[in-house]
């Protein structure tokens, strides 16, 4: 395929993330591979912010230990960390330059030991929200030309869309699960109220008040008590008629 066709394929892959059951990790690894093809770099990694605000590696084009250790170092220092903190692109970092690597000497030394000579970091950003960074490594000092930089940022944007879409779907599924649980609990409560009201020959409000008082006095969840009553694990006579 031509370069334009490969870039289009990456965008099409991103469209596939709009379905509910797509595999985010597999997609990110595939996109890392596409980055190496499109940008003529040796290695690519996707770093995401964890709940504590620290970058963690989620996907890489190369699973060799030397590369994974290099990404792990970027918890604390490196262009990727700086890119994530500032939301600014860090391109054409010459890992052999003492001036450019002065802010992250340990990372730069380890990168050179791993055989890398250049690195680039692009933010995974939607408007003001930065959720991580796309990190590129080259084995020779080579600047990204403006056209390559635009392609790299486009791929970083594709990654961002995929991750945020996955989060949205996960939150929607969680909300649906919570709503389903709430509705199921409501049904159980209504059943328990009906059982008590019939057993005591009283109204459902009186029965519900008795259920709540019994749950509080015995430090039980109301839904749990109702479910036990419905399932026959608790006898209606064990609850005191008000």
Q: Mapping DSSP to helix (H, G, I), strand (E, B) and coil, where does residue 88 land?
A: coil
pLDDT at site 183: 72
Is the confidence at residue 15, as pLDDT, over 70?
no
Distance CA 215, CA 237 (A): 15
Instruction: Judge whether 214 and 234 are in contact, CB under 8 Å.
Output: no
- Write out pLDDT tens, residues 179-219: 677 778 888 888 998 998 888 888 888 888 888 888 888 88
- Domain(s) labelled CATH 1.10.10 in the chain stretch across 180-238
Nearest Cα neighbor of 155 from 18, 46, 62, 74 is: 46
pLDDT at site 190: 87
Nearest Cα neighbor of 239 from 184, 228, 186 is: 228
Q: ∠ at Cα 28 (25, 30), nearest 5°?
A: 110
How confident is residue 133, by pLDDT bands cut at 50, 70 and 90? Answer: very high
From edge to edge, which strands make up the β-sheet containing 55-60?
A: 55-60, 43-49, 129-138, 118-126, 90-94
Checking DSSP bridges between strand 55-60 and strand 90-94, what pairing results, if any?
A: unpaired
Is the confidence at residue 65, as pLDDT, over 60?
no
How confident is residue 7, by pLDDT bands cut at 50, 70 and 90? Answer: low
Residue 188 half-sphere exposure, CB side, CA atoms within 13 Å?
19
Q: What is the CATH number of domain 180-238?
A: 1.10.10
Instruction: Judge whether 80 and 133 are in contact, CB under 8 Å.
Output: yes
Is the confidence at residue 233, as pLDDT, over 80?
yes
40 backbone dihedrals φ, ψ, rounded to 5°: 55, 50
The CATH fold assigned to 3-172 is Beta-Lactamase (3.30.450)
Taking each helix axis from N to C terminus, what angle separates 204-217 and 222-231, rounded to the nearest 10 degrees?
110
Distance CA 108, CA 97 (A): 9
- Domain(s) labelled CATH 3.30.450.40 in the chain stretch across 3-172
Beta pairing partners, 37: none
How confident is residue 27, by pLDDT bands cut at 50, 70 and 90? Answer: confident
pLDDT at site 121: 94
Cβ-in-10-Å burial (0-12, 13-18, 19+) of 180 comes to: exposed
Strands (E), 77-165: 90-94, 118-126, 129-138
Longest pairwise C-alpha distance within the chain? 87
The residues, any chain, with a CB within 8 Å of residue 235's CB and separated by 6 or more, are none
Instruction: Judge whether 225 and 234 are in contact, CB under 8 Å.
Output: yes
């Amino acid at each position: 395929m031509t370069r334009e066709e490969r870039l289009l394929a990456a965008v099409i892959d991103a469209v596939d993330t709009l379905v509910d059951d797509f595999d985010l990790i597999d997609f990110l690894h595939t996109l890392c591979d596409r980055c190496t093809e499109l940008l003529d770099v040796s290695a690519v990694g996707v770093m995401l912010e964890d709940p504590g605000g620290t970058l963690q590696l989620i996907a890489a084009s190369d699973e060799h230990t030397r590369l994974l250790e290099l990404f792990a170092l970027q918890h604390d220092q490196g262009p990727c960390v700086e890119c994530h903190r500032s939301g600014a692109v860090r391109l054409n970092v010459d890992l052999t330059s003492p001036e450019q690597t002065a802010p992250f000497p340990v990372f730069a030394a380890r990168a050179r030991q791993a055989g890398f000579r250049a690195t680039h970091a692009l933010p995974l950003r939607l408007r003001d929200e930065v959720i991580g960074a796309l990190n590129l490594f080259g084995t020779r000092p080579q600047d990204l030309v403006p056209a390559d930089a635009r392609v790299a940022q486009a791929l970083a944007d594709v990654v961002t869309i995929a991750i945020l879409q996955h989060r949205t779907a996960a939150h929607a599924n969680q909300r649906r699960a919570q709503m389903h649980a709430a509705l199921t609990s409501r049904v159980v409560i209504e059943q328990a109220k009906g059982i008590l009201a019939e057993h005591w020959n009283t109204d459902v409000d009186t029965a519900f008040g008795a259920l709540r008082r019994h749950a509080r006095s015995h430090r039980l969840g109301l839904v749990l008590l109702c479910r036990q009553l419905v399932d026959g694990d608790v006898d209606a006579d064990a609850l005191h008629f008000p």
